[in-house]
Structure 1
Amino acid sequence: MNQKRWTMRISGRVQGVYYRAATEKSATGLGVTGYALNLPDGRVEVVAEAEPDRLKALHQWCLQGPPAARVDDIDVTESAATGEFTRFAIRR
């Protein structure tokens, strides 16, 4: 396996629009593990681990998000996967 970890910080209207829940559904469908978390500054942080093609698919989904969201920017950092996640979850 060639797993990677992407940490994505999504800016825009992404809190209070079911962004985390919709991301959880999308990530689970793609076989991606990790979490989505609301940040105090209004962004959503998505930490995802999977093969690069699955991470790219999740990134493409995150660019749109759920219908009520407006994504202005996504900052992505890549690192080595840790294997610490067994599923994708919402963190509070």
Structure 2
Amino acid sequence: MPGVRFVVSGRVQGVCFRAGTRTQALGLGLRGYAKNLPDGSVEVVAVGEAQALEALAQWLEDGPALARVDAVGREDVDEDVQANGFAIL
């Protein structure tokens, strides 16, 4: 299955961004994780159907209500995420 790594920057920590991402990802049938990075951004790695990954990518452009997304970096990843479900790290 295809996988994508996103790095979302802006006001994305302390605004329920990871929890909102988890809710979206699970609703789309994706698995993976979201974690805070030391520079204040959030890393999201998701694996699943291409259409679901695109829907998540669109959601990440805005995020939850309290977030301010400045940029979303994206790269395809080859490795498969072994986790079941979607984790918040």
State the match for 2:52 in structure 1: 54
Give the conservation status (yes or no) of the 8 Å contact 2:2–2:48. yes
Measure the CA separation in 2 of the matches of 1:29 and 1:61: 12
- The structure 1 residue matched to 2:72, chosen from 71, 74, 84, is 74
User: 1:83 offset after TM fit, Å?
Assistant: 4.6
Distance 2:7 2:81 in 1: 20
Where in structure 1 do 4 or more consecutive aligned residues deviate above 3 Å? none
- Structure 1 unaligned runs (5+)? none
Q: Does 1:19 align with 2:17?
A: yes
Query: Are the structure 2 counterparts of residues 60 and 69 from structure 1 closer, same or farther at C-alpha, using a change threshold of 3 Å?
Result: same
TM-score normalized by the length of structure 1 = 0.93
Counterpart of 1:38 (choices 23, 30, 36) is 36
* Cα separation, partners in 2 of 1:13 and 1:83, compared to 1, 3 Å: closer
Report how many aligned residue pairs link the two structures: 89
1: CA distance between counterparts of 2:81 and 2:41? Answer: 25
Identity of aligned residues (%): 47
- Aligned-residue Cα RMSD (Å) equals 0.9
Give, in whole Å, the separation in 2 of the partners of 1:18 and 1:86. 21
Number of the residue aligned with 2:63: 65
Unpaired runs of at least 5, structure 2: none
- Equivalent residue of 2:14, what SS? coil
TM-score by length of 2: 0.96
C-alpha separation in 1, matches of 2:3 and 2:67: 24
